């Protein structure tokens, strides 16, 4: 179903200090930064080869990421796998009885189409499917 790992998502309280840490330690650069209202986050993508680290910080206290931070603190939030066709991937996973959070795709960072699977479906890790927009 999955083509490759697109990114790992790391939850942080604030983007800039976390960017400074990854830049200082590893020389990683931000290639994209965006407020994703639909997910209640501001996100920054840092390139690692063809993959990315996605830092996400909550836009408000009532967001899922804010609740995650309150409960578990900063750290690994999700793993995102690239798919060529997210609609057929979701249909296939549904047929297999995989537990979904999103029944259908929604808009993600850089106009990608994304959907989340329940952590219980993937060994305890929140799992994202990403179909990149044309040209990314």
Distance separating alpha carbons of residues 105 and 55, to the nearest angstrom: 21
Is residue 42 close enough to count as binding Co ion by CB under 5 A? no
What mask of x and - would describe binding to Co ion in positions 67 to 86, judged by CB under 5 A?
-------------x------
Distance separating alpha carbons of residues 50 and 48, to the nearest angstrom: 6
3 state DSSP class of 58: strand
- Contacts with Co ion: how many residues (CB under 5 A)? 4
Two tokens at 41?
A: 């986050």
Is residue 6 close enough to count as binding Co ion by CB under 5 A? no
Q: How far is the CB of 121 from Co ion (least distance, A)?
A: 16
Two tokens at 67?
A: 């609740």
Question: Out of 44, 54, 89, 112, which residue is the one contacting Co ion (CB under 5 A)?
Answer: 54
Is residue 9 close enough to count as binding Co ion by CB under 5 A? yes
> For residues 9 and 132, which CB has a smaller minimum distance to Co ion in the complex?
9
Stretch near Co ion under the rule CB under 5 A, chosen from 11-19, 29-37, 93-101, 128-136: 128-136
Stretch near Co ion under the rule CB under 5 A, chosen from 16-24, 44-52, 65-73, 126-134: 126-134
Q: How far is the CB of 111 from Co ion (least distance, A)?
A: 14
* Residue (of 69, 70, 98, 81) closest to 10 by Cα position: 69
**What's the Cα-to-Cα distance from 90 to each of 5, 70, 99, 104, 118, rounded to whole Å?**
17, 30, 10, 7, 13
Distance separating alpha carbons of residues 119 and 125, to the nearest angstrom: 4
> For residues 11 and 24, which CB has a smaller minimum distance to Co ion in the complex?
11
């Amino acid at each position: 179903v999955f083509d490759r790992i697109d990114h790992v998502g790391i939850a942080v309280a604030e983007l800039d200090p976390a960017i400074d840490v990854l830049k200082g330690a590893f020389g990683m650069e931000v290639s994209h930064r965006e407020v994703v209202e639909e997910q209640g986050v501001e996100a920054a993508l840092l390139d690692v080869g063809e993959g990315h680290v996605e830092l996400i910080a909550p836009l408000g206290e009532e967001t899922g990421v804010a609740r995650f931070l309150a409960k578990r603190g900063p750290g690994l939030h999700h793993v995102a796998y690239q798919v060529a066709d997210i609609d057929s991937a979701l249909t296939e996973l549904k047929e297999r009885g995989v537990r979904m959070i999103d029944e259908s795709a929604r808009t993600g960072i850089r106009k990608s189409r994304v959907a989340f699977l329940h952590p219980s479906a993937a060994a305890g890790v929140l799992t994202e499917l990403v179909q990149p927009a044309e040209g990314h």
